């Protein structure tokens, strides 16, 4: 186990270097010159040159990339180009609200999708199964913008069940008040595709020989579904959940923007609009590290779910 973890840690280094190189190339060759954005439309060439010098983007590319590597190694990305705020402080304060949405959402959608997936797999081909699948298809066809607008108008504005916007100072306050409606919207949006996918995983296992053997031995359907089918379907379920976690940090930007939640997704959109390279590269590195760590955690969970899986 220790050797496996060390080897995986070493494999992260070239991956991070590739991510940093890609971000650097895209920003410098595609993203445009941030000095013109920060200087404004009526700035003189001298003002633009002064801003470029202050930002350090007048240096040769290899010097700029070496600075980026040192920043990544020390986790010190300096200050935001647009607000002057410390990038470390920006990421640290924006990560909490995103996790306040991400953790409850992941737990709820996984538990509900797994439970309903087992039930629908057991009822495969029945009217209930077909009706639920039809509802899921319709739900997946509706844009998240529609859910946000309808839920805000009906549940928050007309019925007054939730606040329309805002964010508190404590985790307890946010979980009990401000995060409820955003989590509900994200849950409604994500439950349909997850349910369809998890149901497929269950159906693949139900058709295997070991299930027929277990039934032939007289095992109850509950034991067959909860012990045999669910345990073997856990591997693809873990893969799906863990691979989606990093994307949720950025993918919830619409909800964060509509509900004025100061999260990572909302911050990265603002940074892109302002060409705020220090914030962009810090959050990109954060997502890359999170992706690799969640992949490593998924491998460890494979072994826990099925001891036959060997970590090599």
Model confidence over 180-215: pLDDT tens digits? Answer: 999 999 999 999 999 999 999 999 988 888 888 888
pLDDT of residue 192: 93
- Phi–psi pair at 220, nearest 5 degrees: -70, 155
pTM metric for this prediction: 0.83
Q: List 79's β-bridge partners, or say none.
A: 86
Q: Give the pLDDT confidence score for residue 63 in this predicted structure.
A: 87
Rg (CA), the chain: 24
Quote the DSSP letter at residue 156.
Answer: I
Residue 288 has pLDDT above 90, yes or no: no
pLDDT interval class at 225 (50, 70, 90): confident
Q: At what angle do helices 87-122 and 230-251 cross, to 10 degrees?
A: 150
Take residue 82 and report the two structure tokens written for it. Answer: 């647009």
Predicted pLDDT of residue 276: 83
Given a cut of 90, is residue 24 above it in pLDDT?
Answer: no
pLDDT mean over 217-231 = 84
pLDDT confidence bin for 231, thresholds 50/70/90: confident
d(CA 246, CA 293): 10
- Give the residue with greater pLDDT, 120 vs 36: 120
22-31, 169-178, 239-248, 264-273, range with greatest mean pLDDT = 169-178
Which sign, positive or negative, has the C-alpha torsion 94, 98, 103, 106? Answer: negative
Task: Name the one residue in this structure whose structure tokens are 């994200």.
Answer: 186
- pLDDT score of 26: 81
pLDDT digits (tens, 9 = 90+) for 139-186: 999 988 899 999 999 999 899 999 988 898 888 999 999 999 999 999
Between 53-62, 78-87, 168-177, the lowest mean confidence (pLDDT) is in 53-62
* Mean of the per-residue pLDDT values of the chain: 86
Mean pLDDT of 77-96: 88
d(CA 30, CA 62): 17
Outline which parts of the chain fall under CATH 1.10.3720.10.
Answer: 96-274
| Average pLDDT of span 233-254 | 84
**Residue 274 pLDDT greater than 90, yes or no:** no
| Confidence at 110, pLDDT banded by 50, 70, 90 | very high
Q: What is the mean pLDDT of residues 42-58?
A: 77
Q: What is the pLDDT of residue 220?
A: 83
Task: For residue 84, give Cα distances in angstroms to 22, 38, 71, 271.
Answer: 25, 12, 17, 12
Query: What CATH class is the domain 96-274?
Result: mainly alpha
Token code pair at residue 307: 């001891």
User: For residue 70, what are its two tokens?
Assistant: 């040192």
Per-residue pLDDT at 166? 84
- Mean pLDDT, range 83-100, rounded to an integer: 90
Q: What is the pLDDT of residue 47?
A: 78
- Predicted local distance difference test score (pLDDT) of residue 250: 74
Task: Give the model's pLDDT for residue 312.
Answer: 62
């Amino acid at each position: 186990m220790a050797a496996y973890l060390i080897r995986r840690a070493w494999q992260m280094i070239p991956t991070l270097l590739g991510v940093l190189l890609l971000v650097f190339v895209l920003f410098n060759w595609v993203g445009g010159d941030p000095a013109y954005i920060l200087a404004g439309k009526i700035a003189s060439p001298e003002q633009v040159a002064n801003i470029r010098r202050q930002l350090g983007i007048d240096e040769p590319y290899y010097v700029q990339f070496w600075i980026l590597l040192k920043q990544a190694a020390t986790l010190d990305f300096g200050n935001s180009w647009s607000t002057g705020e410390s990038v470390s402080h920006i990421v640290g304060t924006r990560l909490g609200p995103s996790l306040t949405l991400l953790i409850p959402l992941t737990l709820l959608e996984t538990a509900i999708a797994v439970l309903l997936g087992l039930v629908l797999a057991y009822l495969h081909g029945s009217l209930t199964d077909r009706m639920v699948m039809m509802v899921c298809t319709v739900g997946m066809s509706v844009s998240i913008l529609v859910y946000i607008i309808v839920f805000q108008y009906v549940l928050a504005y007309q019925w007054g069940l939730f606040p329309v916007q805002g964010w508190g100072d404590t985790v307890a306050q946010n979980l009990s008040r401000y995060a409820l409606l955003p989590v509900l919207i994200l849950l409604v949006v994500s439950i349909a595709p997850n349910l369809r996918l998890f149901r497929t995983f269950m159906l693949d296992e139900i058709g295997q020989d070991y299930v027929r053997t277990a039934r032939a031995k007289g095992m109850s359907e509950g034991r067959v579904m909860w012990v045999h089918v669910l345990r073997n379907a856990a591997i693809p379920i873990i893969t799906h959940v863990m691979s989606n976690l990093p994307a949720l940090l950025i993918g919830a930007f619409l909800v964060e923007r509509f509900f004025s939640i100061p999260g990572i997704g909302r911050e990265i959109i603002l940074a892109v609009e302002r060409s705020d390279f220090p914030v962009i590269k810090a959050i990109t590195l954060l997502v890359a590290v999170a992706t690799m760590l969640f992949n490593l955690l998924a491998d460890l969970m494979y072994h826990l779910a099925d001891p036959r899986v060997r970590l090599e």
